[in-house]
Amino acid sequence: MGHTRQTLFYIQMKIVEYHDKEKFKDDFKTNYLRYRLGRIRHEIWLKNRKQERKLIDKYDNLILENCKPGKITYFNSAGYYIADLYPEKIIEVIENDPIVKKFYPKCITADRQNTGQELTDNFIVTNCRSDHWNTLAGFTEHFKKYTSYMKPGCRFFYSMRDTQLLGINRFKENVEQKIINWAHSLKHIQLTLVMFKIEIPKRQSNDTKENPDTANGNIKLAFVYDGEPWSVKC
pLDDT digits (tens, 9 = 90+) for 132-189: 899 999 999 999 999 999 999 999 999 999 888 899 888 889 999 999 999 999 999 9
User: Left, alpha or beta for 153 (phi > 0: left; psi -120 to 50: alpha)?
Assistant: left
The domain spans of the chain are 22-225
Decide: residue 173, CB within 10 A, 0-12 exposed, 13-18 middle, 19+ buried: exposed
pLDDT of residue 5 exceeding 80 = no
Contact 210, 163 (CB under 8 A): yes
Where residue 200 falls among pLDDT bands split at 50, 70, 90?
A: confident
pLDDT of residue 72 exceeding 70 = yes
Pairing relationship of beta strands 150-160 and 191-198 according to DSSP bridges: unpaired
Contact 106, 93 (CB under 8 A): yes
Contact 129, 108 (CB under 8 A): no
Q: Which residues make beta-bridge pairs with 91?
A: 72
pLDDT of residue 193 exceeding 60 = yes
Residue 56 CA to residue 23 CA, distance in Å, equals 36
Tell me the CATH number for domain 22-225: 3.40.50.150
